[in-house]
Each structure stands twice: as C-alpha cells, then as structure tokens.
Amino acid sequence: MGKLGYYLSLPLIYGISILPFRVLYMLSDLMEFLLFRVAGYRLKVVRDNLRNSFPEKSTVELKRLELDFRRWFCDLMLETIKTLTISPSSLEDRIVVEGADVLKSYYDKGISVILVMGHWGNWELGGARFSQLPYHKLNVIYHPLENEQFDKLFIRMRTRLGNGLYPMKETVKCMLRDRGETTATAFIADQTPSRDNAYWTTFLNQATPVFWGTEKIAQKLDRPIIYLGIDRPQRGHYIMRFEVLETEPKNTPEGYISELHTRRLEQDIRKRPAIWLWTHRRWKHRPPEGSTPDPG
C-alpha cells in the first residue's frame, strides 16, 4: 500500500479506534466472517499448526479451538487499532495486573529487568497498560515495517502513553545507552529465527527454533528475567501476570534460559490455546542435521 492508500485508510483506522468496545466486537464478528469464512485467510496454516500441536485432540475439539482462535484473532486486530486512542482509565478497567510487587521490588532497588513474553493474549494492550504502572519505563523491541507511513503509525500507537521502542538490530546498543535509567526491556520470544542460528528445542510437540537473543543479552547484562503472561479470561478483559524466571542469568548454562521461557509460554498456551497466534508459520524450518531437540 502506497502513500495514497495509507492516507485514504487513515480516517477509517482512527474511526475504528474511537468505537465503543461493544460496537468494536460487533465489527469483529463481521470481520471473522469475511476474513476466514469468505476469504479463508491462512486457514491451512492454522489447521496444520493446531493439528500438529495437539495430536491428542479430536476433530471436533480442533474445530472448536479453530473457531475460538478466529474470533480472538479479529478481536486482537481491532483492539490493537483501539490502542491509538484508548484512555488510561479504560486500560485500567479492562486489564487487571497481578504480580506487580515483582516489578516494585526491583524498581525500588534501581534494577533494570528483562521481560519475556509471547504472542499470547494481547501484547499491544498489555504494553499500553504497562505504561501506567509507576515502576520501570518499558522499552519494546520491534522490527521496523517496510511501509514508512504505517511504521510511523505503529510507533505512535506504541509510544503515545510513554513507552519506548528499540529497533531489533540495535537492542544491545540501546540498552547500554539507557543503562542510567531503570527500565524493562520486552522480548517477544516466540518469533521464528533463521534455521542455523537458533536454539533448538521441542515446543508444542514440534522441533522448534528459538532466538538466542533473550538468553545472550540477559547473560551479557546480567539482568533479572521476568515472564509476562497476558491472559484473557473473557472477551475484552485481560490479566497481566508477572513472575520471576531467573534472578542471576550471568552464570546459567547454555540453553537454560531459552528452555525456561519456552516451557513457561507453552504452559500458558496449553491452558488457553485459542489466544495464541496460530496464523504464524512458526514451524517453517526443520532442525539442522545432527541437532537434537530437547524433549521438554
């Protein structure tokens, strides 16, 4: 989409962002029908991912799970647009925070932390809610979009309430630059790295590559690692949960941290599988010859 298409779509995007949540979810139901039932968006990817991840589930269970996912996915996209205009009070009404004492204990000591999370729940709303906590400044690692206009829009969406952004390729440089501040750097650790530059493990019953970045940076800077899960017990309402995964990463053995956060995310996905990003081609690579995935 070029500049003209962007500027033509901008009023629609902002128009959606100011809709009441009740109307937003009516629009989401229509979107699910058009995107999946009519257009069939990535349905093969979704079905393959679900079948391979849950071989123990029946066909009926998988169909139910797929439908729940499709509805959540459309909610996710519209809730993400909502972050362009959502108010702090609305965020507090819709997102309960548990385990904030974990952050407070480090903040009171002036200790910066690393947050590790996955594409589970709503990470965009979660980031906006984090900005309202009276503790660390949140810096989110992001991959700049190719479309310059939409990149600027996403930057505004993610920073308007006070959060910062670190370009993926400059993460360590930015963290060192800001070492005089008490920060929380968020790593979304379930993306797909290159086949040959990854830690290989078994995740959801499949051989899976994991980015080394979270582990290597945590060890290099020796910052405590906190897992953040963003659960969705009901439509439009979330629970952010913080828990310590590792207090002293510096001396951990190779693969330990990568295994730790992967297992913790897997636990959340198994608890509520419909709210993970099944459209993502997470298993497009096969392990290099001679690598042995950890059975988890």
Q: Provide the pLDDT for residue 29.
A: 98
The least confident of 151-155, 280-284, 287-291 is 287-291
In a domain, 282, yes or no: no
Question: CA 32 to CA 62: how far, in whole Å?
Answer: 17
Q: Provide the pLDDT for residue 17.
A: 97
Q: Provide the pLDDT for residue 292.
A: 53
Using one digit for the tens of pLDDT, what is the confidence trace for 12-59? 999 999 999 999 999 999 999 999 999 999 999 999 999 999 999 999
Q: Provide the pLDDT for residue 296.
A: 45
Q: Flag whether pLDDT at 1 surpasses 80.
A: no
Using one digit for the tens of pLDDT, what is the confidence trace for 56-91? 999 999 999 999 999 999 999 999 999 999 999 999
Q: Are 215 and 260 in contact (CB under 8 A)?
A: no
Nearest partner of 202 among 75, 127, 293, 76, judged by Cα: 293
Return the CA Rg of the chain: 19
In a domain, 153, yes or no: yes
Taking residues 147-151, what's their average pLDDT?
Answer: 87
In a domain, 292, yes or no: no
Enclosing domain of residue 209: 3-275
Q: Provide the pLDDT for residue 209.
A: 96
**Percentage of the chain lying above the pLDDT 70 cut:** 97
Question: CA 62 to CA 207: how far, in whole Å?
Answer: 21
Q: Output the pTM of the full model.
A: 0.93
Taking residues 166-194, what's their average pLDDT?
Answer: 95
In a domain, 263, yes or no: yes
Is the sign of the CA dihedral 96, 203, 32, 128 positive or negative?
positive
Question: CA 235 to CA 22: how far, in whole Å?
Answer: 10
Give me the chain's average pLDDT, please.
Answer: 94
Which residue in the block uniquely carries the two structure tokens 């909610």?
Answer: 75
Q: Provide the pLDDT for residue 291.
A: 62
In a domain, 48, yes or no: yes
Dihedrals φ, ψ of 72, to 5°? Answer: -65, -40
Question: CA 163 to CA 142: how far, in whole Å?
Answer: 12
pLDDT band at 288 (very low <50, low <70, confident <90, very high): confident
Q: How far is CA 255 from CA 190, 211, 249, 288, 294, in A?
A: 15, 11, 11, 17, 10
Taking residues 199-210, what's their average pLDDT?
Answer: 96
pLDDT band at 293 (very low <50, low <70, confident <90, very high): low
In a domain, 286, yes or no: no
Nearest partner of 62 among 290, 256, 273, 288, judged by Cα: 273
In a domain, 288, yes or no: no
Q: Provide the pLDDT for residue 290.
A: 61
Q: Flag whether pLDDT at 295 surpasses 80.
A: no
Q: Is 199 exposed, middle or buried (0-12, 13-18, 19+ CB in 10 A)?
A: buried
Q: Are 17 and 85 in contact (CB under 8 A)?
A: yes
Q: Flag whether pLDDT at 203 surpasses 70.
A: yes
Count structural domains, the chain. Answer: 1
